[in-house]
Amino acid sequence: SSYKEKHIKPKRSNTGELELFKEIWNERPHISEISGKSIHIFDINCFHHILTKGAYPEHRLNKDNIIILTRAEHNDVHQYSMNDLVNKHPMWLELTKRYDKIKFKK
């Protein structure tokens, strides 16, 4: 097979996330909801599902379950435990509050 065939990414199915991220971007200030740092360009890596898509698929398109944060903060969320994040900086307590609010909402 040709080089071109091997390096074409498979087309992802349309989950509705991109459209939802664009709506959130248009509705909310372009700042991290964790640190308050400015975010200057739309980037899907600046959106984070508080309750994971895998464990809580019913919350995948729930705007309340998605926060805007910087790319670096998003990477940290996936690399460190919540305890480590909170120990690193108390701003991460906001994420734990939002997690509990969504998860235990009646």
Spatial separation of the C-alpha atoms in residues 70 and 49, rounded to whole Å: 13
The answer on pLDDT for 55 being more than 70 is yes
Place of tokens 């698929």: 57
Contact 86, 96 (CB under 8 A): yes
pLDDT tens profile 8-25? 666 667 899 999 999 999
Helix (H/G/I), strand (E/B), else coil: 31? strand
pLDDT of residue 4: 56
| CA atoms of 82 and 100, how far apart (whole Å) | 13
**H/E stretch holding 68:** strand 66-68
What percentage of the chain carries pLDDT values higher than 90?
A: 79
Q: Which of 34, 45, 39 is nearest to 88 (CA)?
A: 34
Report the chain's mean pLDDT, rounded to a whole number: 90
Q: Kindly report the pTM of this predicted structure.
A: 0.83
For range 34-44, the mean pLDDT: 96
